[in-house]
C-alpha cells in the first residue's frame, strides 16, 4: 500500500523501542537502524515515531496500545505476550553454527576459576539478569536440570546481562548465562569480559522476536517487509556493529516450547522467589 493510501488506523506515530541490545556503545547504530526502518515503514504507509523511546521500562512498552515496533525476549513472549501483541518476525544474527533466526546462551565464569563441567557448578553462585529472561535464566535452568545438575547457592539477580558479567568478574558471583549476541557485544565493549571465559553453551532457541501492538496485526506482513527492506539497505558496518544479518518469518508455535514449566527447584535450590 503506498503512503498516499494510508488508512486512518495506520496514521498514528505511536511509540517504538529496540531495547534488547541497545548498549551505549552501539546506540548510534541502533538509531541508524531505526531511521532506516522508519523510512521503509512510511513508504509502506505506516506512520512511525521519529525516535526510539528509551524512557521507562521496556516491559511497559510491549503492551502499549500504540506500539509500532519493539523487541522482546522469547520467554515473556511465550509466557504472557503471545496473543496480546502482533508477532512481526525474528531477526537473524551473525552467530556461527546456528540456524538463521536462532540463538543460544553462553555460560561464562572467571578465567581463574573455571568449572570442569556443569556438575562443578554445585557450589558456585549464579548471577542472572531477571527471572523472565530466556537466555539469562530459563536456558541455564533447563540445561542444569536436564543434565541432573544443580547450582546450590542463592542466585544473584542483577537486572542486566552486563551487570551480571561485572558481578562475576568482581567475584560477587561465580558464573552467568548470557545470550550469545550480548556476549559478542561484551567482548567488544565491556572490559570485565577480559577476565571471563565461556565454558559451556545451551541448546539454541528462536531469537528475540519483534512485536507490535495487536491493532497492527493485519499490517504485520507489511511491517516485516519494511524491516527486511531496511536491513538490506543498511550500511554493512552498522549491521556488523549490531551483529545483524537479516530477518526471517516466525509464528507463535516457534516460541511455544519456551512456555513449558521451568524446573527451577531442581536446578537452583537456593532460588527463593515468592
Structural domains for the chain: 3-94+206-258 (3.40.190.10), 105-203 (3.40.190.10)
Instruction: Name the pTM for this structure.
Output: 0.92
pLDDT at 56: 75
d(CA 179, CA 82): 21
| Nearest of 266, 235, 272, 208 to residue 69 by alpha carbon | 208
Q: What is the pLDDT of residue 12?
A: 57
Maximum CA extent, the chain: 63
Which cell numbers in the block locate residue 173? 558471583
pLDDT at 273: 75
Predicted pLDDT at 2: 37
- The answer to whether 101 and 251 are in contact (CB under 8 A) is no
**Which 3 state secondary structure label does DSSP give 85?**
strand
Distance of CA 233 to the CA centre of its chain: 23
Structural contact between residues 212 and 63, judged by C-beta atoms closer than 8 angstroms: no
Which residues make Cβ contacts (< 8 Å) with residue 74, sequence separation at least 6? Answer: 134, 205, 206, 207, 208, 209, 255, 258
pLDDT of residue 3: 37
Contact 91, 70 (CB under 8 A): no
Low-confidence stretches of the chain (pLDDT < 50) are 1-10
User: Considering the chain, what percentage of its residues have pLDDT values greater than 90?
Assistant: 92
Rounded distance, CA 126 to CA 167, Å?
A: 10
Query: 207 and 102 in contact (C-beta within 8 Å)?
Result: yes
Amino acid at each position: 500500500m503506498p503512503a498516499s493510501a494510508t488508512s486512518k488506523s495506520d496514521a498514528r506515530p505511536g511509540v517504538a523501542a529496540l531495547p534488547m541490545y541497545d548498549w551505549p556503545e552501539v546506540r548510534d547504530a541502533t538509531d541508524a537502524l531505526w531511521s532506516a526502518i522508519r523510512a521503509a515503514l512510511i513508504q509502506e504507509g505506516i506512520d512511525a515515531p521519529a525516535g526510539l523511546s528509551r524512557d521507562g521500562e521496556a516491559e511497559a512498552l510491549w503492551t502499549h496500545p500504540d506500539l509500532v515496533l519493539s523487541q522482546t525476549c522469547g520467554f515473556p513472549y511465550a509466557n504472557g505476550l503471545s496473543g496480546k501483541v502482533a508477532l512481526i518476525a525474528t531477526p537473524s544474527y551473525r552467530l556461527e553454527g546456528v540456524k538463521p533466526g536462532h540463538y543460544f546462551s553462553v555460560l561464562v565464569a572467571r578465567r581463574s576459576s573455571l568449572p570442569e563441567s556443569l556438575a562443578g557448578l554445585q557450589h558456585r553462585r549464579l548471577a542472572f539478569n531477571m527471572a523472565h529472561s530466556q537466555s539469562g535464566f530459563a536456558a541455564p535452568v533447563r540445561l542444569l536440570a536436564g543434565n541432573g545438575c544443580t547450582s546450590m547457592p542463592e542466585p544473584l539477580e542483577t537486572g542486566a546481562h552486563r551487570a551480571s558479567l561485572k558481578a562475576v568478574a568482581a567475584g560477587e558471583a561465580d558464573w552467568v548465562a548470557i545470550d550469545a549476541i550480548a556476549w559478542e557485544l561484551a567482548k567488544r565493549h565491556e572490559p570485565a569480559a577480559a577476565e571471563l571465559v565461556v565454558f559451556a553453551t545451551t541448546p539454541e532457541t528462536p531469537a528475540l522476536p519483534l512485536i507490535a501492538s495487536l491493532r497492527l496485526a493485519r499490517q504485520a506482513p507489511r511491517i516485516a517487509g519494511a524491516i527486511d527492506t531496511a536491513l538490506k539497505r543498511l550500511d554493512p558496518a552498522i549491521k556488523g556493529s549490531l551483529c545483524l544479518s537479516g530477518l526471517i518469518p516466525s509464528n507463535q508455535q516457534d516460541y511455544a516450547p519456551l512456555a513449558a514449566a521451568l524446573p527451577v527447584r531442581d536446578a537452583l535450590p537456593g532460588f527463593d522467589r515468592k
